[in-house]
Amino acid sequence: MTLKQLRYLIAIAEAGSFSAAARDSYIAQPALSRQIGLLESELEMQLLERRHGGTELTDAGRRLYEIARSVIQKVDSVKDELESTRGNPKGRVAIAIPVSAASLLLPEIVTRAREKFPAIELQITDGMSSAAGHAIELGHVDFGVVPNAEELELVSAEPVLLEELWWYGRMPMPTSGPTISFAEALGAPLVLPPRSLHLRRRVDQAAMEAGLELNVSFEQNSAQSISSLVRAGLACTITNWPPLEDQEQQYARRIVEPSIRRTISLAYSVHRPLSFPASCMRDLVRTTLIDLAESGRWKGSLIAPREPATAGSADL
């Protein structure tokens, strides 16, 4: 059994016929048929059935196809890893980012990655903190930017940013100014995300510690629906800064007495060590977070100083 034969089996399964697979693989159809025949003879079982209008996998062929896909992906990733060590990171890197920061982070990450690492194929998913954390724990992504790293299991986390939470609303309040006390912020009717999101759990925790009660009038999943209720003057909200980048910021006030903060970390599964391309992207994303914090586009304070550039880091 050879890698070439496994690639041919994959080609036939995905093309649906020997003739189409031969064209896609740039091989004569008789030669392709011979390779599959040799593979079936070695395994002593039929892998493919020729039918009118195409070819179908047998049960054994379907199982071998699944194994072959996994093997070929691993072999190709090893090739990319070895080529990356020459100083040109290459390969696929999957990253999870919080949906609340996607509008701020996504363009920054994609733009910088294209300039710095054009051979890296990015797959960036944005979702709720619980979904992102689960994807990291299971190793479905290489790493992620998460606010709830302390809740995850078997995950290595690097705290980067201590972000502040803000009150945002158009309702008249007893006091004015750039800040608002936590007690006053909770006095107005609020629209907040459900408790499945880390931000809501952090607000609940802060209220409990301060001996205060939340006045939650609405629970909404999406940032768009929360923002629509705030803009209509029907409720206020508590949020981190990135969603406020595109809002009328004069209606935002930083929460004090006490201030509410949470940690933003880079995290990855301990069972899925970072590849060289993933390490390069991790460094690039770290630099992006630091730049956004230092420029004030992501309100908060840095936990660790900027690291000096290394051979695989994002020197931006």
And the tokens for 162? Answer: 């201590």
The number of residues making up the chain comes to 316
Parse the chain into domains and list their residue ranges.
3-84, 91-161+263-302, 165-259
Q: Judge: domain 3-84, CATH 1.10.10.10.
A: yes
Backbone angles phi, psi at 209, to 5 degrees: -65, -30
Q: 208: burial class by Cβ within 10 Å (0-12, 13-18, 19+)?
A: exposed
What average pLDDT does this structure show over 180-209?
93
**Which pLDDT does position 312 carry in this prediction?**
44
Cβ atoms 281, 290 nearer than 8 A: no
Where does 91-161+263-302 sit in CATH, by number?
A: 3.40.190.10
Q: Judge: domain 165-259, CATH 3.40.50.740.
A: no
Selected residue with higher pLDDT from 288 and 272: 288
Cβ atoms 147, 199 nearer than 8 A: yes
Task: In whole angstroms, give the CA distance from residue 3 to residue 73.
Answer: 11
Decide whether 3-84 matches 91-161+263-302 in CATH topology.
no
**Which pLDDT does position 283 carry in this prediction?**
93
Backbone angles phi, psi at 220, to 5 degrees: -135, 145
Q: What percent of the chain has pLDDT over 90?
A: 50
* Whether residue 169 has pLDDT greater than 90: yes
